[in-house]
Structure 1
Amino acid sequence: MKKALVLLMGIALAIALAACGNKEDKSAATPTAGAQASGQQVVLKATNFKFDQTEYRVKKGEPVTITLENSQGVHGAALKEFNVNLNNGNKTATFTPDKTGSFPITCSIMCGTGHADMKTVLVVE
């Protein structure tokens, strides 16, 4: 009886882990339907207390797909001007910038002592 229960629990755990892995892979492979084929791509690479670039440039009126990649720590990215909030559950967003200027992107998940300094800028030309 104990062996059957342990076996059943092991199978349930294996199925749960397999389902979680497949869900993650799908979101990484297809961030937004049709976005990869056209439009501008911005990849925010986040490490502890910094993004990989001080600014990202895009063109006004053209769709932008923005993707967050965490390579160290747990981070988010907020681009309030265009209502974009990326985190572990939502790693991509597509929007069309309708105005020019410089717009701050900040880390939206408290990531430690350097969190307040974790900023970059989206420049729309």
Structure 2
Amino acid sequence: MKKWIVSISAIALIAVMTACGAKQEPAATPAPAGTQNAAAGGAGQQVKLVATNYQFDQKEYKVKKGEDVTFTLENKAGLHGVAINGLNVELRGDKLSATVKPDKAGTYDIICSVPCGSGHISMKSKLVVE
């Protein structure tokens, strides 16, 4: 019985530690590349957050205050989620896109909200609302 519990625990630990290395296709169609900060005909701003092993594609994203912003998450490597503290944005699972209207200028933390392995704690970025 003891060996069985140890074996299950070891398998669970390996699964958690390798989550960032797993390939996953995005469940939703991500925004076209290069659309960060683009505002087109009232459609609002588009911010594409590309997640790879323990990092986002940019250290900082900038948007304008008072305008709709659509955030889209693309998992390039591993399985990740996004939480933007202070803006009530949570992208994970089958919800990989959200639109909000930031009405307060400032800097907001963007963090990975899915435990993705040993580098998870350092997977952070910033959103600057100007």
Question: Normalising by structure 2, what TM-score?
Answer: 0.69
Q: Secondary structure at the match of 1:116?
A: helix
Any unmatched runs of 5+ in structure 2?
A: 1-26, 32-39
**Between the two proteins, what is the percent identity of the paired residues?**
53
Residue 46 of structure 2 contacts residue 71 of structure 2 at CA under 8 Å; is this kept in 1?
yes
Paired residues, number: 96
Query: Which has more radius of gyration?
Result: 1
Query: Using a 3 Å threshold, how does the CA distance of structure 1 residues 101 and 63 change in structure 2: closer, same or farther?
Result: same
Deviations, residues 36-91 of structure 1 (Å, cap 9, x unaligned) = 86100000000000000000000000000000000000000001211000012110
Segments of 4+ moved more than 6 angstroms? none
Could you list the runs of 5+ residues in structure 1 that have no partner in the other structure?
A: 1-23, 31-35
CA contact (8 A) 2:30 2:72 kept: no
Match of 1:68 among 70, 73, 93: 73
The TM-score with structure 1 as length reference comes to: 0.72
Which residue of structure 2 aligns with residue 106 of structure 1? 111
* Counterpart position of 2:17: none
Shift of the 29–66 alpha-carbon distance from structure 1 to 2, 3 Å rule, reads closer
Cα pair distance change 1:29/1:116, threshold 3 Å: closer
> Is it true that 1:116 corresponds to 2:117 in the alignment?
no
Report the counterpart of residue 51 of structure 1 in structure 2. Answer: 56
Could you say what the CA RMSD is over the residues aligned between the two structures, in angstroms?
A: 1.9
User: Which residue in the other structure is 1:79 paired with?
Assistant: 84
CA deviations on 1:103-125 (whole Å, 9 max, x unpaired) are 00000000000000000000000
